Structure 1
Amino acid sequence: MNNGKKIGKPRLLMLGCGDVGMRMLPLVRARFRVIVVTSKPERCAELRAAGAIPLVADLDRPATLARLARLAQVIVHLAPPQSSGETDRRTRNLAAILPDRANLVYISTTGVYGDCGGASFDETRPVRPANPRARRRVDAEQVLRAWARRSGSRLAILRVPGIYARDRLPLERLQKGTPALSAADDVYTNHIHADDLAAIAVRALDRARPLRVYHAVDDSDMKMGDYFDAVARCFGLPPPPRLPRTELQQQVTPMMLSFMSESRRLRNDRLRNELGVRLRYPHVGALLETLP
């Protein structure tokens, strides 16, 4: 006799389930009934095979989101903003139907800081987004903070740098011989392995402090060109040619140039001390040294 109490696993709602989301599923499906929102019906079979319950809805179409309301009290928001505009309309549509007193982890980006001139800093540094892509992320963070305060919910924001994995290395770029910045103009860049990011997001569900920002970054202290050189050596490829910024900007796309215009080194003390994370790949070399 259950006295009217619900039996079974609690529900976890996942919005967006690309590479990192798929890596999260094995870490949470034993504890939760995982409901994954996808806008692509053709992905439903893949998601079911991975142990999730697919739900077709579209963050760009608010009318499709009504059934998400009060569906779960534990939420992971992995969906990126739309590709244009100064605000994240998708997160705004989501916030309009989120339940009260929920527990939400949002995957943001380290791009919200803009160029920091190679400075090393923690999560207390003010944001200064330098392009619409980063401003959309700042908007999403602000919208979710307002929702969390209003609804009494717990929100953790993970600011994420460049994600790498065995199948997420810049091999195509190296094979094409795309140039990198000269040493004098090079920028510091930050990294996290996709498996570590998945584990960090799960840990944040359990241990994050309310309305807390965490740098989901590893211990790598590298400039971008050195990263490309390390990957090239690992795979026996020629290192990229190095050019001064004035010449490079004529050969790469505006988006690529924007990544090469921001230099920062993010500290991860909160990740270790508050979330208790022990990285499987504490630096890029920890992966590269395992590869043939």
Structure 2
Amino acid sequence: MKNHNLRKFKRPRLLIVGCGDVGMRLLPLLRPHFRVFATTSQPSRCAELRALGAVPIVADLDQPASLRRLAGLASHVVHLAPPPAEGPLDRRTRNLSAILPEHGRLVYVSTTGVYGDCSGLLFDESRPVAPRNPRALRRVDAEQVLRRWAVRAGAQLSILRVPGIYAADRLPLKRLQAGTAALIEADDVYTNHIHADDLAAIIARALFRALPNRIYHAVDDSDMKMAAYFDAVADAFQLPRPPRLPRAELQKVVTPALLSFMSESRRLANGRIKRELGVRLRHATVADALKGLTSSSR
């Protein structure tokens, strides 16, 4: 018992900031290697986090005073918290950067939206960012804030640019049931995907294997347009496929937020996560994942 407690004490500390769905999937992968602390802004979630082996800490990235107890707590950090809903800056990441450790290691989960519209081109991590909406601007701001911290603190930063995350409980079933329209083929956009379990595995590998101050595309092997994705989910769950409309008509019937997602077309190469992190995707494509979901439910 003493040796077990000693090993537990000697394990490096890791802090998960914003431990939502992906963080909960990540916890079992990290517990053997770290003593894990996880923040939540909801005290009611503490028992849930504790049950999965994390030490819960109530903290709010919008309240800098609540972050002071995090200073110096852990040498490794996974930043999963989203930016605020408004404004051009990510104030939350700016508040967090004030308490990040010297010479630490941080994995930041960003978004592929930082590239803006790429007209369906296939590209790797060398492409410059070109954000087109406030949400993406806030992500670029967060990346820049963390880059400055890494230089100033002599730390190692890994940025994972992540597309649409899906899982069994993260599929557009309500949208399909509501009959929300999709774009016709000629107007449609390419989208990128990653299963939540694969994303958790990529984050874990980045903590151990990522090169310093490196960007990675955390995307799967799918190569499909948005309406094809909706069709695939509809077929798998025996739901009607969504109607197709030209862009000029669709913009009259969907929200501006939804339209912004349907206005950016890009395909991201994922060779770097395979070469440098040794990632082997459990769900290589959306089609593979849907087959597994439907077969397990029969």
For the superposition of Structure 1 and Structure 2, which TM-score range results when normalised by the shorter chain?
Answer: over 0.9
Residue 68 (structure 1) shift = 0.6
Q: What is the match of residue 197 of structure 2?
A: 195
Cα distance in 2 for partners of 1:200, 1:32 equals 17
% identical equivalent positions = 70
Residue 73 (structure 1) shift = 0.3
Structure 1 segments, 4+ long, off by >3 Å, are none
Which residue of 162, 165, 183 maps to 2:167? Answer: 165
Structure 2 unaligned residues grouped into runs of 5+: none
| TM-score, with structure 1 as normaliser | 0.97
Q: How does 1:118-129 map to 2 (within 5 A)?
A: 118-129=120-131
Which residue of 89, 113, 116 maps to 1:114? Answer: 116
Residue 7 (structure 1) shift = 4.1
Cα distance in 1 for partners of 2:261, 2:97 equals 29
Q: What is the match of residue 60 of structure 1?
A: 62
Cα distance in 1 for partners of 2:50, 2:73 equals 18
Q: What is the match of residue 267 of structure 1?
A: 269
Q: What is the match of residue 237 of structure 1?
A: 239
1:168 partner SS:
coil
Cα distance in 2 for partners of 1:139, 1:211 equals 16
Q: What is the match of residue 223 of structure 1?
A: 225
1:203 partner SS:
helix
Cα distance in 2 for partners of 1:165, 1:282 equals 13
Q: What is the match of residue 248 of structure 2?
A: 246
Residue 291 (structure 1) shift = 2.7
Q: What is the match of residue 93 of structure 1?
A: 95
Residue 140 (structure 1) shift = 0.2
Deviations 1:217-273 (A, max 9, x none): 000000000000011111111100000000000111111100000000000011100
1:124 partner SS:
coil
Cα distance in 2 for partners of 1:86, 1:276 equals 35
Cα distance in 2 for partners of 1:206, 1:29 equals 14
1:184 partner SS:
helix
Cα distance in 2 for partners of 1:16, 1:95 equals 14
2:89 partner SS:
coil
Matched, 1:149 2:164: no
Structure 1 window deviating more from structure 2 (104-113 vs 56-65): it is 56-65
Which residue of 47, 56, 60 maps to 1:45? Answer: 47
RMSD over aligned CA atoms reads 1.4
Deviations 1:6-64 (A, max 9, x none): 94321110000111000000101111111001111111111111111100111101111
Residue 118 (structure 1) shift = 0.3
Deviations 1:151-200 (A, max 9, x none): 11000000000001111111110000000000110000000000000000
Deviations 1:91-122 (A, max 9, x none): 00010111100000000000000000000000
Q: What is the match of residue 277 of structure 1?
A: 279
Look up the equivalent residue of 1:49 and give its one-letter code.
A
Which residue of 5, 8, 11 maps to 2:13? Answer: 11
Q: What is the match of residue 76 of structure 2?
A: 74
Q: What is the match of residue 182 of structure 1?
A: 184
Q: What is the match of residue 102 of structure 1?
A: 104
Look up the equivalent residue of 2:129 and give its one-letter code.
V
Cα distance in 1 for partners of 2:47, 2:107 equals 26
| TM-score, with structure 2 as normaliser | 0.95
Cα distance in 2 for partners of 1:291, 1:141 equals 34
- Pairs aligned (count): 290
Which residue of 210, 213, 227 maps to 2:212? Answer: 210
Look up the equivalent residue of 2:42 and give its one-letter code.
K
Cα distance in 1 for partners of 2:188, 2:36 equals 42
Cα distance in 1 for partners of 2:259, 2:139 equals 19
Cα distance in 2 for partners of 1:17, 1:124 equals 29
